[in-house]
Structure formats: C-alpha cells, structure tokens
Amino acid sequence: MKTSGESATTILSRESIKNLLTYGALLFPFLPNAYRTVYLSIALLTIMINYRVLWRKENLPLYIFWCIAVLTSLFSPMPLKAIIKTKGIVFDLIVPFIFFAFSDLLKRDQYYKKFPYFAILFTSIALLAYFLHPHGWHFLNRQSWLVGFIGGKLTYAGVISFLFPLINFPEGSNLRKLLSPFLAGVLVLISLAINNSRSYYLGVSAFMVLFIIFAKRPLKVIYFLLLVIFASAVFLNQRSYDYLKRSAPTPQNMSTFLRIQMWKTGLNIFKARPLAGIGYELWGEEKVREEHLSKYATPKLKEILERYPDTKKPVSGHLHSNYIMALVNGGILLFIAYIFIFIYYGLLFLKAKNEYSLSGIGLLLIMLIAGAFEYSFSDAEVVQTFALSLGLLLNKAKGDEGNH
C-alpha cells in the first residue's frame, strides 16, 4: 500500500513530466531536427506505454494512408526500399498526431496560453536573422542536425503557415489578452511575407478569408486587420512583390514554367501506372527517376533539363505538388487515401462547431491550397508541424479530457 508521501512523490513526478513535455512541445516547431527527433522518440515511447491511444478511431485515415503506401510499394521497381521510406509517414505524421491529440501528458490549455509568446520570440529571432543576412542562412539548410526552423525558405514558410492556426483569440477576452496573440500573428505573417513562398501566401490568405466570412464579428475584424497587414508586408517588400510578378508560367519565369512541366510529367507517369504508381518516395532514387523521365517527361521538360543544368536539382527531389506526388507514389489508391484524410478531419471539425473547429478547417485549407504547388506532405519539419497543429486543434475541438 502506498503511503501519502509516496503518492505525493508520484503525483509530483507525473506533474513534472507533464510540464517538461508541454514546454518541449512549445519548443518543438522552432528547434532543429536533432531536437525534434529526440522529442518524437519520447512521444513514441509514451504512446507505446499508453497503447490504447493507438486504437482511437480518429487515427484511421492516417493508418489507411500508410497501409496503402506500403501496399502499392509492393508493386514498385524497388519494393523493400519504397516500404522502408514509408517510415516517414509513421514518425513524422502518425506519431506526432497521436501524441499531440491524445496524450494525457500534455497541458494543452497551458500550451495555448503560452504559444503566442514562443511564436513572438522565435519569429523575432528569424526576422532579425533575415535582416542581418537577407539571402538566408543556407548552412542551416543542409542534411544535418542543424536543419530546422530558419533553414530553407520553403520549409520555414511551411512551418509558420501551419503554426498560424494555433494563434487563438479567446471569445470575450479583453484587449490586453488579445494583444499577445495579435502580435504573434503579425510577426508570423511578416516573417512569412519575406520568405517568397507564393503557395503559402495563398494558403494563409485563404485561412484569414475563412475567418472573415464565417467567424463572429470580433474575429472578423481581427483577421481583416491581419490580412491587410499581410498584404501590405507582401506588396511593400520589393523582393516579395517582384517574386509575385514572376508568377506567370512563361519561359522567362522558369520556376513556374518548370513546375507546370513537372506536373504534366507526373500525370504522364500516373497514366502509365494508374493503380500503384512507382512506389512510395522512389522518385528520389536516381535510377528510377531517370528511367521515368526518359519515358514520360514532356518535351519541354527534357529541353529545359538539357539547356539549364541547374534545373535538375529541383526536379530530382519531387514534382512540387502533394496531389501529383500521391498519384506518382501510389497511383489512384494513394491519391484517394490522401483526399480522405482531409474529408475525414474536415467533417470532424464541422461537427464540433466551436471556436477551435474553424481553425481546424482553416489548417486543412492551408495544406490543401499550398499542397497544390508544393510537396509539403513529405517535408519532415513541415508535416510534423501540420500533425502537431492538427492533433492539438482536434483535441480542443472535440473537448477531450487531459487538456489541463
């Protein structure tokens, strides 16, 4: 039988663990890969101990996506390698979603109260880094433990875009309590504006328009002001304004023109392998990629690759679209599984009908829009942040226990 002293020690230690994991979660999106890997390893351990959370019905669409990725990879040119690559779905998407949605070791109410201050701190650091070195800290964008929040413009833009829905404005709050989330929102938007990512511009703008249309009056005003600030930050910054002007898909605007040719090539591959695709993430394998490019690349893409050798690098990684890559990775089956994720969670948020449900729908909207132009569903830092935000918002929308 436990003594009162032993019980107090147990409660204290559990409370300490909750505090550590909650503050660790606040740091999670902002620190490099090495930190996130350690945190997710601890999260996985807690999930295995509290294994009941694995059987929550809310996990189902993510399990289906993973299973279909494995199944379709069996018919690929490199089955074992493709199946091994699906580990990213587990570690970067499923584990963080389950942990942030259902773990009883997180104080979610405290997370929401403190999140604006962490967002202010780290976006301020990122903005300072930008003004000191506008071309970017490229050494942070290598495959090393340093890769993280500031390294890589598109990764950085994706991370802060999927954090934006966590900036919550509680109903009925006085002006003083609204100040910190509003400042966090402003800094996130300015930080996004200077990073020249048109796809995330569109996604986050759609998020704010969603609130302007469907939120209650005070939130309409707040998000209208944020949208005006964001538009001003984009159009008054010469670099981002020039970048927007180069959006038209002409040979002079190589980025957009190349991307369209990649999408057409991806659709050609899908037509050739409609049921199973080429295998999960095998596009990154040079032998597989070159074989499919030689057979299915559009004439324009082949011409670009021959005339401009520098364009081989963006083509070698992926085809710059969540939808196209789903079709290429796993055919129509994986594409349907991908769309099902958004339908399923969208319906859950619609059913909830509370202050967090609109943020949840907006989060999905950002991924749906930005994902049309970026392959964000495989970028570890970005998809981990998406899973974190999805889990936290779903928990609050459903009103699960363990929030305090």
178-204, pLDDT tens digit by residue? 899 999 999 999 988 887 788 899 999
What is the per-residue pLDDT across 136-160, written as a single tens digit (0 to 9) for each?
544 444 444 434 455 456 688 899 9
pLDDT band at 104 (very low <50, low <70, confident <90, very high): very high
Alpha helices by DSSP H, listed for 133-164, are 153-163
pTM for this prediction: 0.90
Sole residue written with tokens 């506008």: 134
Q: What angle do CA 170, 171, 173 make, to 5 degrees?
A: 75
> What is the per-residue pLDDT for 234?
86
> What is the per-residue pLDDT for 142?
46
Determine contact, residues 48/94, Cβ cutoff 8 Å: no
Q: Quick one: which H or E segment has residue 113?
A: helix 108-132
What is the per-residue pLDDT across 371-396, written as a single tens digit (0 to 9) for each?
998 898 988 889 999 999 999 999 99
What mean pLDDT do residues 250-274 have? 83
> What is the per-residue pLDDT for 146?
39
- Residue 375 has φ and ψ, to the nearest 5°, of -95, 70
What is the per-residue pLDDT across 32-71, written as a single tens digit (0 to 9) for each?
888 999 999 999 999 999 999 999 999 999 999 999 999 9
- Average pLDDT across the chain, whole number: 86
* Euclidean distance between CA atoms 335 and 332, whole angstroms: 5
State the CB neighbour count (10 A cutoff) for residue 264: 16
Task: Supply 302's token pair.
Answer: 């082949």
DSSP state of 176: H
Task: Supply 76's token pair.
Answer: 């690929």
Q: What angle do CA 187, 191, 196 make, to 5 degrees?
A: 155
* Euclidean distance between CA atoms 109 and 251, whole angstroms: 51
Determine contact, residues 372/323, Cβ cutoff 8 Å: yes
pLDDT band at 245 (very low <50, low <70, confident <90, very high): low
Task: Supply 385's token pair.
Answer: 């942040």
Alpha helices by DSSP H, listed for 28-107, are 33-49, 60-73, 79-85, 87-88, 95-102
> What is the per-residue pLDDT for 14?
81
Question: For the ranges 3-7, 81-85, 203-207, which has the lowest average pLDDT?
Answer: 3-7
What mean pLDDT do residues 104-126 have? 92
Determine contact, residues 147/31, Cβ cutoff 8 Å: no
> What is the per-residue pLDDT for 103?
94
Q: In terms of pLDDT, which residue wins out, 307 or 82?
A: 82
Task: Supply 191's token pair.
Answer: 């930080």
pLDDT above 60: residue 282: yes
State the CB neighbour count (10 A cutoff) for residue 33: 17
Sole residue written with tokens 């910054």: 237
State the CB neighbour count (10 A cutoff) for residue 317: 13
Determine contact, residues 254/300, Cβ cutoff 8 Å: no
* Euclidean distance between CA atoms 181 and 220, whole angstroms: 15
Sole residue written with tokens 């966590």: 166
What mean pLDDT do residues 211-234 have? 92
Radius of gyration of the chain from its Cα atoms, rounded to whole angstroms: 22
* Euclidean distance between CA atoms 112 and 333, whole angstroms: 37
What is the per-residue pLDDT across 301-317, written as a single tens digit (0 to 9) for each?
888 878 777 666 667 77
pLDDT above 50: residue 277: yes
* Euclidean distance between CA atoms 348 and 336, whole angstroms: 18
Q: Among candidates 397, 262, 258, 394, which has minimal Cα distance to 328?
A: 262
* Euclidean distance between CA atoms 249 and 23, whole angstroms: 44
Q: In terms of pLDDT, which residue wins out, 110 or 151?
A: 110
Determine contact, residues 324/261, Cβ cutoff 8 Å: no
Question: For the ranges 243-252, 343-352, 387-396, which has the lowest average pLDDT?
Answer: 243-252
DSSP state of 285: S
